[in-house]
Amino acid sequence: MKAAAKAHTNIALIKYWGKRDEPLILPMNSSLSLTLDGFYTATSVDFRNDLSTDHFYLNEQFVTGAEKNRVTAFLDRIRAAAGKPDAFAEIHSTNHVPTAAGFASSASGFAALAAAAAKAIGLSADEQQLSILTRQGSGSACRSVYGGFVEWEKGTLSDGSDSYAVPVASANYWDIRVAAVILSSAEKKILSREGMRRTVDTSAYYPAWVDSIPNDLAAIKEGIAAKDIEKVGEIAEANCLRMHATTLAANPPFSYWQSTTVSIMQTVQDLRATGVPAFFTIDAGPNVKVLYTPEHEEKVRNMLQNITGVHDVKVSKPGEGVSYI
Amino acid sequence: MKAAAKAHTNIALIKYWGKRDEPLILPMNSSLSLTLDGFYTATSVDFRNDLSTDHFYLNEQFVTGAEKNRVTAFLDRIRAAAGKPDAFAEIHSTNHVPTAAGFASSASGFAALAAAAAKAIGLSADEQQLSILTRQGSGSACRSVYGGFVEWEKGTLSDGSDSYAVPVASANYWDIRVAAVILSSAEKKILSREGMRRTVDTSAYYPAWVDSIPNDLAAIKEGIAAKDIEKVGEIAEANCLRMHATTLAANPPFSYWQSTTVSIMQTVQDLRATGVPAFFTIDAGPNVKVLYTPEHEEKVRNMLQNITGVHDVKVSKPGEGVSYI
Per residue in A153-162, pLDDT (tens digit) is 999 999 999 9
Assign residue A148 a region (left: φ > 0; alpha: ψ between -120 and 50; beta: otherwise): left
Chains A and B form CB pairs within 8 A to the count of 85
Most B-contacting residue of A184, A213, A248 (CB-CB within 10 A), to test interface: A248
Give the domain A1-325 fold: Ribosomal Protein S5; domain 2 (3.30.230)
Residues B6 and B95: their CA atoms lie apart, in Å, by 10
A28 CB-near residues (< 8 Å, 6+ apart): A17, A18, A19, A20, A154, A200, A210
Give domain limits for chain B: 1-325
| pLDDT > 70 fraction of chain B, expressed in percent and rounded | 97
pLDDT score for B101: 39
Chain-chain contact of A205 with B207 (C-beta, under 8 angstroms): no
If one counts every other C-beta atom within 10 angstroms of the C-beta of residue A20, the result is: 18
Distances (CA, A) of B316 to A162, B59, B143, B290, B291: 59, 22, 17, 10, 10
* Strands laid side by side in the B279-281 sheet: B279-281, B288-292, B177-183, B310-316
B245 interface with A at CB cutoff 8 Å: yes
If one counts every other C-beta atom within 10 angstroms of the C-beta of residue B127, the result is: 17
Per residue in A113-140, pLDDT (tens digit) is 999 999 999 999 999 999 999 999 999 9
pLDDT score for A96: 86
- Smallest CA-to-CA distance from B102 within B269, B279, B221, B280 is with B280
Chain-chain contact of B208 with A212 (C-beta, under 8 angstroms): no
Closest Cα in chain A, distance from residue B95 (Å): 32
Residue A49 CB burial class (10 angstroms; 0-12, 13-18, ≥19): exposed
Chain-chain contact of A253 with B244 (C-beta, under 8 angstroms): no
Residue B211 CB burial class (10 angstroms; 0-12, 13-18, ≥19): exposed
pLDDT score for A105: 76
Residues A239 and A281: their CA atoms lie apart, in Å, by 8
B270 interface with A at CB cutoff 8 Å: no
Length, in residues, of chain B: 325
Between positions 136 and 175 of B, the ones with CB within 8 A of A are none
The shortest CB-CB distance from B258 to any of A204, A234, A262 is to A262
- Backbone torsions φ then ψ of A186, nearest 5 degrees: -120, 65
Q: Are B143 and B152 in contact (CB under 8 A)?
A: yes
Q: pLDDT grade, residue A100 (50/70/90)? A: very low
- B-chain CB neighbours of A266 within 8 Å are 258-259
If one counts every other C-beta atom within 10 angstroms of the C-beta of residue A176, the result is: 20
Closest Cα in chain A, distance from residue B129 (Å): 35
pLDDT score for B96: 86
CA A184 to the chain's CA centroid:
21
3-class DSSP assignment, residue A123: coil
Q: pLDDT grade, residue A101 (50/70/90)? A: very low
Distances (CA, A) of B200 to B27, B153, B197, B204, B236: 11, 19, 5, 9, 21
- Smallest CA-to-CA distance from A9 within A325, A324, A323, A319 is with A319
Chain-chain contact of A208 with B207 (C-beta, under 8 angstroms): yes
3-class DSSP assignment, residue A156: coil
3-class DSSP assignment, residue B131: helix
- Backbone torsions φ then ψ of B60, nearest 5 degrees: 75, 0
Residues A45 and A190: their CA atoms lie apart, in Å, by 31
3-class DSSP assignment, residue A73: helix
Q: pLDDT grade, residue A99 (50/70/90)? A: low
Q: Are B96 and B39 in contact (CB under 8 A)?
A: yes
Chain-chain contact of B244 with A242 (C-beta, under 8 angstroms): no
Chain-chain contact of A262 with B257 (C-beta, under 8 angstroms): yes
Chain-chain contact of B246 with A245 (C-beta, under 8 angstroms): yes
Beta-bridge mates of residue B257: none
Tell me the mean pLDDT in the region A176-193: 84
**B183 DSSP assignment:** E
Per residue in A264-316, pLDDT (tens digit) is 999 999 999 999 999 999 999 899 999 999 999 999 999 999 999 999 999 99
Kind of pairing between the strands at B177-183 and B88-96: unpaired
State the complex-level ipTM. Answer: 0.93
The shortest CB-CB distance from A259 to any of B211, B212, B260 is to B260
- Smallest CA-to-CA distance from A72 within A99, A98, A48, A91 is with A91
Q: pLDDT grade, residue B270 (50/70/90)? A: very high
Per residue in A235-275, pLDDT (tens digit) is 999 999 999 999 999 999 999 999 999 999 999 999 999 99
Between positions 191 and 230 of A, the ones with CB within 8 A of B are 204-205, 207-209, 211-212
The string over A215-236, giving b where at least 16 C-beta atoms fall within 10 Å of a residue's C-beta and e elsewhere, is: ebbebbbebbeeeebebbbbbb
pLDDT score for B100: 47
Residues B121 and B87: their CA atoms lie apart, in Å, by 8
